[in-house]
Chains A and B, each alone.
Chain A
């Protein structure tokens, strides 16, 4: 197991380097905006723009810029400074991470609490009215874009903008350390919005997996042993059916930790996703690079955790 983890970590580092390099190449090759010109403003002289270009190191070849970036990253964990407002990218990302973690973890809990039970109920009563209603509902939830669902929820339930004024408004997020009540209230709508599509997807996946598993020979054996149906489902069926769900959950959590962009934008949550969005619109390479790297890190890390979890979930899996 130890050797496996070390091997995976080394591969992960290589992968992050490749991702970082590709981001640099994309920014260099494709017609993105000129950061020096943006920084200087529209009335600036060419000389000032060139000076800024020099100060930012943008007059060097892209591979030299990449090397300087890499050196800073490896030696000081330095993600550079924003071209747009000169703020430290690392500080910005770390200061925004708690908001993104709040959105992701809460959303994950909500979608698992809804998706798994719905999937199980549908699986054990396939083609029943309950199954059809739940699966039909899940299709609607999957089809509804987060942006649309978010706005609708704000206009119905949010204080200030909604008809019912129950939950926190857009922009009401505060850190958990500042005020737990406000934090919780401000995140209810984002959690539900974010969870809607995921819960629906997980319910359908859980249903499919469980239906398939319940037709396995070892399930028949368990039933033949005289075990109660509840035990057969929870102890034997669910365990196997959960493995792909865990894989997907790992991927999705990793993805969202890199920034739940749409949710953070609609609900004005100051997270990494919103920062990434602003970075793209401002052609702010250091910020783009930092957020891409963070996103990639979380996906790689989540995958590693999931692979390790397999060994505990599925007795057939061992690592040499």
Chain B
């Protein structure tokens, strides 16, 4: 699950699951991407030169491309590094980047071959051509605890010989083979429906072993501060390769990579320089963008009051674009503990929750659509439609405000004759600051309508995850402030880590409802190895429906992120990256 930066307005920081996102705005179609955009993406012919200034509230999570995981960090990683595959703005379909063509997969699904482009070079001080060995080293170092990549095990653990235990050295993985300088072959222990999709992760961006190895030694790699680039831009550095353009928490300066060859890339790279200025209050940042003293918001959504003002201002309205955030927020009910080990009690909760009031705690309709299942609308034909799209809603109520009568009927089915809960108090662990704390209050009020007395323990957002909801033995009855975003547009990345029984682990657990339904697990095991995309999306769509019907978790919002551009630049929102700007496609007018 990729995530937005740690510090977003109104939220505690840390292991942030979802961003406080933006604006529902116009009623765009279910499968559309960036909304509200009156600007066409400029892919060629725009003016070259100039400087683009991106404002952010927080810093990147890790400057090392092998560790990077935040959506905001990816805005920098993808224009400085070239993974095997990547996305163009306004698209969720991966295309070859460092790869010369899309990977080929053997019939048994266990061999994936990728051909690399010729003529791609590392930035100074390395200055040599990229080879397949550099991609192999990049992936291998991801398994080293000194690099601590968060998703290597999840997506690349399927490669033959990939470490199953944590290691403090860069392992040699036998299943990554480099028969020649421009070919890399992945031998998998079993077919994987998402492996090709995962090749767009920045872990596949090449790293020169002879240069990086000395930085990767020890318990914490310092390669990030000495990284070399392959993309059109590089983080400013000195002759020895030490970054001079990165000051943690303050700014990141990107300059042109002198070794980048435009003929090998589809990125237009109009601007000469890009400055990411960090530490901005969202209100102040929004005003600066509107005034033209900065160009675009990187990680923070403009505050609700500003959004309302912008959307009602005819001259500013066109500066705003809305992008779905590829996931949903939901309320997780602990299926291992009474009373939520009873399906009918959970269904009663699903009926009674006032999702409209919950949405109001994050700004109302301006924040997004009320969610009725887990695969979000931006998946469109890759799972959302197959799950029933907007028509699939097993727990309907007028305006999403809850249906007490149906909830009481479910409680009666659960054995509560009065239709109201009469057992002991239930506990939820919630954010200690708005908007999460307000959402939790709404949930407690909704549950009170069917007799629940909810005790709320309020903690910092990150502590809510890492000390309580992610640790099954500490998990309360309700985790009201959880959510999940897709790492890339494969529905498996939304549903498998979060609802597959095999993924329940003692720490860092993301299956918050602790759902372990053998029938659903079996279907997931089948879908995981399905190589035919159409069949795979259909299967995951069906799985989405089944999960929703268990009411183990109650989805309540599909959020959108508002990206605000100054009038001095062209627009380029990354649909695949939750709306962040693709600065390599932005031009100064």
Chain A interface (Cβ within 8 Å of chain B)? 31-34, 37-52, 55-56, 81, 85-87, 92, 95, 151, 154-155, 159-161, 169-171, 265-266, 268, 270, 274-275, 278, 281-283
A-B contact pairs, 23 of them (CB 8 A): A31-B459, A33-B15, A33-B460, A34-B507, A37-B466, A40-B150, A42-B510, A45-B166, A45-B508, A46-B506, A49-B507, A49-B508, A85-B63, A86-B222, A160-B287, A160-B293, A161-B293, A170-B281, A170-B284, A171-B279, A268-B279, A268-B280, A275-B249
Query: B284 to A154, Cβ gap below 8 A?
Result: yes
Which of A33, A55, A169, A266 is in CB contact (< 8 Å) with B466?
A33
B270-295 near A? 1/0 per residue, CB < 8 Å: 00000001011101100110011110
Q: B151 an interface residue at 8 Å Cβ cutoff?
A: yes
Given the complex, which residues of A lie within 8 Å of B69, measured CB to CB? 41-42
Q: B13 an interface residue at 8 Å Cβ cutoff?
A: yes
Q: Report the bound CA distance from A86 to B67 in whole Å.
A: 12
A170-B288 contact, Cβ under 8 Å, with A270-B249, A270-B279, A274-B249: yes
Given the complex, which residues of A lie within 8 Å of B1, measured CB to CB? 42-43
A31-B284 contact, Cβ under 8 Å, with A42-B150, A48-B153, A282-B13: no
A37-B287 contact, Cβ under 8 Å, with A32-B463, A52-B148, A281-B12: no
Chain A's closest residue to B165 (CB) is A47
Q: Report the bound CA distance from A229 to B505 in whole Å.
A: 80
A46-B287 contact, Cβ under 8 Å, with A270-B249, A274-B279: no
A283-B287 contact, Cβ under 8 Å, with A44-B148, A48-B145: no
Query: A268 to B281, Cβ gap below 8 A?
Result: yes
Query: A283 to B508, Cβ gap below 8 A?
Result: no
Given the complex, which residues of B lie within 8 Å of A55, measured CB to CB? 145-146, 168, 219-220
Q: Report the bound CA distance from A38 to B13 in whole Å.
A: 10
The smallest beta-carbon distance between B5 and chain A, in angstroms, is: 11
Query: B462 to A38, Cβ gap below 8 A?
Result: yes
Q: B250 an interface residue at 8 Å Cβ cutoff?
A: yes
Q: B247 an interface residue at 8 Å Cβ cutoff?
A: yes
The smallest beta-carbon distance between A221 and chain B, in angstroms, is: 56
Within 8 A of A (CB), among B125-159: 145-146, 148-151, 153-154
Q: B514 an interface residue at 8 Å Cβ cutoff?
A: no
Within 8 A of A (CB), among B237-286: 247-250, 277, 279-281, 283-284
Within 8 A of A (CB), among B57-91: 58-59, 62-63, 69
Query: B7 to A278, Cβ gap below 8 A?
Result: yes
Given the complex, which residues of A lie within 8 Å of B288, measured CB to CB? 160-161, 169-171
Q: Which of A46, A95, A160, A171 has the most CB of B within 10 A?
A: A171
Given the complex, which residues of A lie within 8 Å of B63, measured CB to CB? 85
The smallest beta-carbon distance between A81 and chain B, in angstroms, is: 7
Question: Ordered nearest first, which 3 A-B pairs have the shortest CB separation?
Answer: A41-B150, A33-B462, A160-B293
Given the complex, which residues of A lie within 8 Å of B146, measured CB to CB? 55
Chain A's closest residue to B14 (CB) is A33
Query: A37 to B508, Cβ gap below 8 A?
Result: yes
Q: B497 an interface residue at 8 Å Cβ cutoff?
A: yes
A31-B6 contact, Cβ under 8 Å, with A51-B166, A55-B168, A170-B288: no
Given the complex, which residues of A lie within 8 Å of B154, measured CB to CB? 43, 45
Query: B505 to A33, Cβ gap below 8 A?
Result: no
Q: How many residues of B contact A (CB 8 A)?
A: 62
Chain B interface (Cβ within 8 Å of chain A)? 1, 3, 6-7, 12-15, 17, 55, 58-59, 62-63, 69, 145-146, 148-151, 153-154, 165-168, 219-220, 222, 247-250, 277, 279-281, 283-284, 287-288, 291-294, 459-460, 462-463, 465-468, 470, 487, 497, 505-508, 510
The smallest beta-carbon distance between A242 and chain B, in angstroms, is: 37
The smallest beta-carbon distance between B456 and chain A, in angstroms, is: 14
Given the complex, which residues of A lie within 8 Å of B3, measured CB to CB? 42
Q: Report the bound CA distance from A169 to B17 in whole Å.
A: 32
Q: Report the bound CA distance from A49 to B145 in whole Å.
A: 9
Chain B's closest residue to A274 (CB) is B279
Q: Report the bound CA distance from A184 to B312 in whole Å.
A: 37
Chain B's closest residue to A95 (CB) is B247
Q: Report the bound CA distance from A1 to B182 in whole Å.
A: 76
The smallest beta-carbon distance between B365 and chain A, in angstroms, is: 27
Which of B168, B249, B294 is in CB contact (< 8 Å) with A278?
B249
Q: Report the bound CA distance from A105 to B167 in whole Å.
A: 49
Query: B284 to A38, Cβ gap below 8 A?
Result: no
A40-B467 contact, Cβ under 8 Å, with A151-B283, A160-B288, A266-B281: no
Chain A's closest residue to B155 (CB) is A43
Given the complex, which residues of B lie within 8 Å of A160, measured CB to CB? 287-288, 291-294
Given the complex, which residues of B lie within 8 Å of A274, measured CB to CB? 249, 279
The smallest beta-carbon distance between A154 and chain B, in angstroms, is: 6
Query: B145 to A43, Cβ gap below 8 A?
Result: no
Chain B's closest residue to A37 (CB) is B466
Q: Report the bound CA distance from A39 to B250 in whole Å.
A: 20
A92-B248 contact, Cβ under 8 Å, with A47-B165, A171-B279: yes
Query: B153 to A45, Cβ gap below 8 A?
Result: yes
Query: A31 to B467, Cβ gap below 8 A?
Result: yes
Given the complex, which residues of B lie within 8 Å of A85, measured CB to CB? 59, 62-63, 248
Interface contacts beyond A45-B153, A85-B59, A283-B463: sample of 17 additional A-B pairs, CB < 8 Å, sorted by A: A31-B467, A38-B15, A40-B148, A40-B150, A40-B508, A41-B151, A42-B69, A43-B510, A44-B150, A44-B153, A46-B505, A154-B284, A160-B294, A169-B288, A278-B249, A281-B6, A283-B14
Q: Which of B69, B220, B460, B466 has the most CB of A within 10 A?
A: B466
Query: B153 to A34, Cβ gap below 8 A?
Result: no
Given the complex, which residues of B lie within 8 Å of A87, measured CB to CB? 248
Query: A32 to B145, Cβ gap below 8 A?
Result: no
Chain B's closest residue to A268 (CB) is B279
The smallest beta-carbon distance between A235 and chain B, in angstroms, is: 47
Q: Report the bound CA distance from A146 to B6 in whole Å.
A: 24
Given the complex, which residues of A lie within 8 Å of B17, measured CB to CB? 42
The smallest beta-carbon distance between A47 and chain B, in angstroms, is: 4
Given the complex, which residues of A lie within 8 Å of B12, measured CB to CB? 281
Query: B248 to A281, Cβ gap below 8 A?
Result: no
Chain B's closest residue to A277 (CB) is B7
The smallest beta-carbon distance between B578 and chain A, in angstroms, is: 15
Q: Report the bound CA distance from A265 to B7 in whole Å.
A: 12
Q: Which of B222, B288, B510 has the most CB of A within 10 A?
A: B288
Given the complex, which residues of B lie within 8 Å of A275, measured CB to CB? 249
Query: A39 to B281, Cβ gap below 8 A?
Result: no
Q: Report the bound CA distance from A101 to B2 in whole Å.
A: 38
Given the complex, which residues of A lie within 8 Å of B247, measured CB to CB? 95, 270
Q: Report the bound CA distance from A155 to B533 in whole Å.
A: 52
The smallest beta-carbon distance between A130 and chain B, in angstroms, is: 36
Given the complex, which residues of B lie within 8 Å of A38, measured CB to CB? 14-15, 462, 466
Q: Report the bound CA distance from A34 to B59 in whole Å.
A: 19
Given the complex, which residues of B lie within 8 Å of A49, measured CB to CB? 507-508
Given the complex, which residues of B lie within 8 Å of A169, measured CB to CB? 288, 293
Q: Report the bound CA distance from A151 to B150 in whole Å.
A: 38
Query: A33 to B467, Cβ gap below 8 A?
Result: yes
Q: Report the bound CA distance from A56 to B497 in whole Å.
A: 26
Q: Report the bound CA distance from A281 to B7 in whole Å.
A: 7
Which of B7, B14, B280, B463 is in CB contact (< 8 Å) with A31?
B463
Given the complex, which residues of A lie within 8 Å of B248, measured CB to CB? 85, 87, 92
Which of B14, B283, B293 is in CB contact (< 8 Å) with A159?
B293
Q: Which of B63, B247, B508 has the most CB of A within 10 A?
A: B508
A48-B166 contact, Cβ under 8 Å, with A170-B281, A265-B281: yes
Query: A44 to B508, Cβ gap below 8 A?
Result: yes
Q: Report the bound CA distance from A283 to B466 in whole Å.
A: 11
Which of B55, B465, B487 is in CB contact (< 8 Å) with A43?
B487
Q: Report the bound CA distance from A274 to B250 in whole Å.
A: 10
Given the complex, which residues of A lie within 8 Å of B459, measured CB to CB? 31
Q: Report the bound CA distance from A109 to B528 in whole Å.
A: 66
Given the complex, which residues of A lie within 8 Å of B487, measured CB to CB? 43
Q: Report the bound CA distance from A48 to B220 in whole Å.
A: 13
Given the complex, which residues of B lie within 8 Å of A52, measured CB to CB? 145, 148
Query: B291 to A161, Cβ gap below 8 A?
Result: yes
